[in-house]
Amino acid sequence: MINKLKPKSDFTRNVLTLMTGTTVAQAIPIAISPILTRIYTPEDFGLFALFMGLVSILAIVSTGRYELAIMLPKKDENAIHIAILAIVISFSISTLLFFVFWAFNQEITSLLGNKAISIWLYFIPLTIFITSIYQSLNFLNIREKQYKNVAKSKVLQSTTLSVSSVGIGYSPLNNIGLISGQIIGQISAAIYLTYKTLRNNRLKSIKINKLKIFALAKRYQEFPKVVTWTGALNTSSVHAPVLILTSIFSLKVVGFYSFAQRIITLPNALIAGAIGQVFYQEVSKKHLLEEKAILFKRTLLKLLKIAAPIFAFIFVFGDKIFAFVFGSEWIVAGEYAQIMSLWLFPVFVISPLSQLYNILEEQRVFLKLNILSFSLRVISLLIGGLLFNDILVTLYLFVASGVISWVIILIVMLSLLKINNIKILIKISIYFTLYLLLFYLLNYLLIGFYYEL
């Protein structure tokens, strides 16, 4: 009986392994979020978002995106050399960034429009370097199908992050808890994954060759030349609101926005991220375009079935959920979450599959799409902020530009795989619309029941 309940395919088992670790890892921050919202102010969350926005964008550039190439070589020896290459590049760039932040601290602080970020600029290079170590070893372990190592590292990071954030929050240094907790969590996860990787007998026997590192750097030069800027643009598009809204609106508005984003992106980190990592590993082993297309459609359908009810529910009930769980002060964040759910739905469905561009070696196409996406999002933020000076209008314009961008990215992927894109787009629209109608009906019935009482 138990054997019947076990997942039959390797793909499903691997996804479940990653999802189990990620579920536990994400459940801990969810559990403590009502505590954090009563310890820290929206301004604290705004500062944290600004710090993480800078880290996320610069971390993409720091490795030359070579960590994404770890999955591609046939030999483990080459994969190890690429991981070392990514870490060495990140160390060099992180060191350079430290001196830049030291020399131009006041100018950068003034440009960002927030004095509180000044001292934290010095911690950005360290956080970037630790992140690059973790990401490189993460892909190396996924390549080796050591999914349990990856899952456990996520749980460890989440646990230490949460304990640190709450512990520091109740101390006299409570205003530094969010950022400090993040750094401590990343360091613990990187140390754990380093330890597990070094204990891998298959990898320990490999001797490092400097000439091979240079040869592989040249072989996969498209990653720093093209994929780096694609990733930087994509990540900048996500964090652009924090950077732009900080200079146009108050830090409190940024705090509400960043907290809403932090909560409703949990399904993406929890489920879509795990599916995307396993999809990348599986599709890279397929040789025929038809085989890749079959796996693509099957994975897309899985993502769609999961995403539609989640984000339709957030769109209808987001404000009520945030006010109940996090306190009445955070109802504004709930309203932002409702708007953003329209954008994060296609992100959930499409983003995990976008590694296909690397597999098909169509990185330059993806770069052009990300330039278009980044341009649309920045323009929408500037129009909403400077022309209308209204945060809700700004968010709606930003969300609309995001939806358009991801739909275009999906259409191009479908064309590369020679899949009928009209049927796919209709199916996505129908799924989301049906769940919206269902939850609006439920909302109507609940309101009617409330007034009857």
The position carrying tokens 């690059």 is 132
Q: Are 228 and 61 in contact (CB under 8 A)?
A: yes
Q: Give pLDDT tens digits for 399-416.
A: 999 999 999 999 999 999
Measured over the CA atoms of residue 119, residue 125, residue 131 and residue 137, the dihedral's sign is negative
Reduced to 3 states (helix: H, G, I; strand: E, B; else coil), residue 418 is coil
- Residues near 353 by beta carbon (within 8 Å), at least 6 away in sequence: 276, 279, 296, 299, 300, 303, 413
**Cα–Cα distances in angstroms (integers) from residue 434 to residues 178, 296, 313, 346, 438, in the given order:** 39, 24, 11, 16, 6
Reduced to 3 states (helix: H, G, I; strand: E, B; else coil), residue 353 is helix
Q: Give pLDDT tens digits for 355-364.
A: 888 888 888 8
- Residues near 30 by beta carbon (within 8 Å), at least 6 away in sequence: 263, 266
In single-letter form, the type of residue at position 199 comes to R
Which pLDDT band holds residue 1 (cuts at 50, 70, 90)? very low
Average pLDDT, the chain: 86
Worst-scoring range by mean pLDDT, 3-7, 163-167, 209-213?
A: 3-7
Q: What distance in Å separates the CA atoms of residue 87 and residue 89, rounded to the nearest whole number?
A: 5
Q: Quick check: 394 pLDDT over 70?
A: yes
Measured over the CA atoms of residue 439, residue 442, residue 448 and residue 453, the dihedral's sign is negative
Rounded (to 5) percent helix, strand, coil in the chain: 90, 0, 10
Q: Quick check: 451 pLDDT over 60?
A: no
